[in-house]
Chains A and B, each alone.
Chain A
Amino acid sequence: MIVKVLFMAFVSFLVYVSLVGSIGTDELIIGAIISIIIGVITRNLVVSDEKKVLSPRKWLGAFWYLAVYWIRYETTSHLDVVKRIFTMKYNPSIVRVPFNLTSEYGVTAVGNSITNTPGTVVVDIDEKRGYYYVHWIDAPSVEEEYCYKAISKGFEELVRRFL
């Protein structure tokens, strides 16, 4: 309970500090009071499991996700799409990609990761059958297993570490 309130208060305090424009004692005190009020109001909206917020393994997993995601996936896919912009070679398809995650946060995080890498965009999602419909700029094959390995397997393994 107190963890949920403090987490939301901390997030809103960070937003407040980055937007207030100057850092003085008065501003910090007013910001702390307001962000605790916001934390009390929004305590049940975001955090569902308190243990996950407190465990350092999950936070390390989140940092590992950011590092691997930016250094490996974003770099390679940016280079690939930049090449395609200059050579105008494309072979697009809308393919089905199955997902094996159960929590809504996990599905959203993997979908956002897929959309954030250039070259693959989630167009639609079928939650009952467990499919993303992904527009892929260069699809060598449209079989589900191949697409799962090529697009979302790495993201699912990364996301499982912190959600």
Chain B
Amino acid sequence: MVNELLEIIGIFLVVLGGLLNIIGSIGMLRFPSYFLRIHAATVAVIGGSVVPLVGIAFLSYGIHGSEGVVTSLGALGTAAFIFITAPVSSHAISRAAARMRMPRGPLTHDHLEEDGK
């Protein structure tokens, strides 16, 4: 009973994450400039990778029982790692993009430009 519930929660999270990942990569194809694409990439990374990894942790314990504990722990560790480090890498790259004076695309206000950075 508990295992079936875990399987249902896990597969729901995995399929939801797959949908968000596809939507995020479609957004990366459609948006016109880098600073807009980064929002679509955040959808694909946070909703499309952290959520299904948590789902994999549930699903592995639900399907394989105590043999799947190692996969569960590994998936949870990977999810926590991505949750902590994904904003760091995306912040590093966008700061580099802002400092190399890349065209910032459609912007109504730019306070970074006003402060001379």
Contact = CB atoms under 8 A, between A and B. Distances in A.
Interface in B15-57: 20, 23-24, 26-27, 30-31, 35-36, 38-40, 42-43, 46-47
A117 B35 CA distance: 14
A122 B47 CA distance: 18
Mostly, the A contact residues are mixed
A117 B38 CA distance: 11
Interface in A107-125: 111-112, 115-119, 121-124
B70 A18 contact: yes
Given A23-B70, A78-B47, A124 B112 contact: yes
B2 interface: no
A74 B40 contact: no
A116 B39 contact: no
A81 B39 contact: yes
A85 B74 contact: no
A93 B88 contact: no
Size class of the contact patch on chain A: 35 or more
A118 B42 contact: yes
A92 B36 contact: yes
A76 B45 CA distance: 16
How many residues of B sit at the interface, in one of the four size bands?
35 or more
Interface string A125-163: 010000001010101001000000000000000000000
B47 A90 contact: no
Interface in A66-90: 74, 78, 81-82, 84-85, 88, 90
A19 B87 CA distance: 23
B43 A118 contact: yes
Nearest to B33: A92
B77 A112 contact: no
| Closest CB pairs A-B (n = 10) | A115-B87, A85-B27, A18-B77, A18-B73, A93-B109, A118-B42, A112-B87, A18-B74, A142-B109, A118-B43
Interface of A: 14-15, 17-23, 74, 78, 81-82, 84-85, 88, 90-96, 111-112, 115-119, 121-124, 126, 133, 135, 137, 139, 142
Interface of B: 20, 23-24, 26-27, 30-31, 35-36, 38-40, 42-43, 46-47, 69-70, 73-74, 76-77, 83-84, 86-88, 90-91, 94-95, 98-99, 104-113, 115, 117
